Structure 1
């Protein structure tokens, strides 16, 4: 299982090869390339809360949705709060206007409704897309370190199982672009919180920095993959895009490197009807 970086109509994005091979789903992880925004939001800013030109954001959505093959009028989006709330997405969650405010706070979405496009955002935190090609169900979660410590990705798998009869061994997982252990340096509060909630098995993913006492590097993508294996996913069904958002400003924005003067990427997934 691997990823493909591709460009359609000038928009550059990543797709998970296993999702494509399984068929029945449209999806993509955005880069910052291919939109019309300018300044710190150049080019493909998909963040609806950024102080970007609204007309530019609309055009960016139009371009990205067309590039990955989803219906821009059937998006279900998240207002992310770095917790573990997961919403069951229905047609009632599609906003009359994609820039309307969202009246719920969640970091994950699940559905088995064809055509609905689950949409999550990232600019260092880890986007995870899940696809059950047998039971025809999908999920999308935003997993920063807090969400990872709360197990949001395996909770999405459990919700798919409870609602749609998904078998974890059938689920394909794509862990997308996000900050890597090369750039995610923290104080001991992050490794401590992760171990308190997830147990000592996370220790191999948290490494002390020799040159900076009391600081660590943390491999969030590695922890998420471990969590999904614990939830019953087959190792060969979990793939991780190794690209680090902080290392590649030519492709991504990074909150850690750029602060609030940046755009947001989106990851989207939709069952084909």
Structure 2
């Protein structure tokens, strides 16, 4: 597992799983944490139990992610109630209480962890391009600030592994989703000509996330250097494999 390298408060725990260390068979080998990808349910339960064992007793809350912008506020009480319930629909979660872990699953989308510098609140967001363009990071940040009673400048962010800027080929709809001009001029999008003349670009998802977080007031943003597509030995990638597992980013208050 990856341990985020960022100056988070001592009371904040965080990790990012990789595909190593689990019990799932190929093509989900090995630590698949996704329960809706075609893997053996018993294997997923076993893999999730391994993650739960690492986070020191905090209850992980798994979401049904829909590439949206809804943020779920977690407490120890509602986390316990969700253990045996269908996963709630949301693409981010925040908490200001110990004993509960915010979790997002990814297999190319960008996982973003947030922690208030005063140690009073944390959050995790699933930021594919649709959620990112729609404001999922801003919504998550606002919830963390409300729980921690702090300003955006007093929140730290960590960007996890995602599809990298050399692999994320997109169409004009993605550029327009971010307000970028297809004619050029945006450093987050690089024109990639195709033999058939179709309009395609390479998009830099971490750069887009840093831009939005910076505009929202964050000053300490780390991570974002891993490409899920290019590092097959370490990460699941839907773009690369189509049928594959999911890794997860997890954050909690100790």
Q: Do these two structures clear the TM 0.5 threshold for a shared fold by scoring above it?
A: yes
1:268 is aligned to 2:250: yes
Q: Distance in 1 between matches of 2:38 and 2:81?
A: 21
Task: Tell whether the 8 Å contact from 1:174 to 1:239 is kept in structure 2 after alignment.
Answer: yes
Aligned mates of 2:91, 2:73 — CA distance in 1: 12
Deviation at 1:213, TM superposition (A): 4.1
The 2-side partners of 1:65 and 1:135 are apart by 21
**Structure 1 residue aligned with 2:11:** 24
Given the alignment of the two structures, is residue 205 of structure 1 paired with residue 193 of structure 2, yes or no?
no
Q: 1:114 aligns with which of 98, 105, 110?
A: 98
| Equivalences for residues 151-170 of structure 1 within 5 A | 151-170=135-154
Q: Which moved more, 1:174-183 or 1:43-52?
A: 43-52
Distance between the aligned counterparts of 2:157 and 2:145, measured in 1? 15
Would you say the 8 A contact 2:69–2:134 is kept in 1?
A: yes
| Native 8 Å contact 1:110 1:139 kept in 2 | yes
2:73 is matched with 88
Which of 37, 41, 45 is 1:58 aligned to?
A: 45
**Contact 2:5–2:223 (CA<8 Å) still a contact in 1?**
no
For residues 139 and 81 of structure 2, what CA distance do their matches in structure 1 show? 29
Separation in structure 2 between the aligned mates of residue 184 and residue 232 of structure 1, nearest angstrom: 27
Partner of 1:76: 61
Going from structure 1 to structure 2, the CA distance change for 1:201 and 1:29 (only over 3 Å counts) comes to farther
The whole-number CA distance in structure 1 between the counterparts of 2:82 and 2:92 is 21
Distance of 1:81 and 1:36 partners within structure 2: 26
Partners of 2:150 and 2:140 lie apart in 1 by 11
Q: Any stretches of 5+ residues in structure 1 without a counterpart?
A: 1-12
User: 1:204-230: per-residue Cα shift (whole Å, max 9, x none)?
Assistant: 201111346410011111011111111
Mapped to 2, the partners of 1:116 and 1:201 lie a distance apart of 44
Q: Structure 1 residues 157 and 226, CA, compared in 2 at 3 Å: closer, same or farther?
A: same
Q: State which of 158, 162, 166 in structure 2 corresponds to 1:178.
A: 162
Query: How many angstroms does 1:19 deviate by?
Result: 4.4
**Higher share in helix:** 1
**8 Å contact from structure 1 (residues 26, 70) kept in 2:** no
Q: Deviation per CA, 1:132-175, whole angstroms, max 9, x where unpaired?
A: 13151001000000011012112211222234312211211000
* Structure 2 stretches lacking a partner, 5+ long: none
Q: What TM-score, normalized to structure 2?
A: 0.91
Using the size of structure 1 for normalisation, the TM-score is 0.85
Between Structure 1 and Structure 2, how many residues are aligned?
251
**Residue-by-residue CA offset, 1:233-254 (whole Å, 9 max, x unaligned):** 11xx101231100111101111
- 1:41 corresponds, among 25, 28, 46, to 28
Distance change (3 Å), C-alpha of 1:216 and 1:175: same
Q: What secondary structure sits across from 1:36 in the alignment?
A: coil
Tell me, in whole angstroms, the C-alpha distance in 1 between the residues paired with 2:65 and 2:244: 17
Structure 1 segments of 4 or more deviating over 4 A?
95-100
1:19–1:131 Cα contact (<8 Å) kept: no
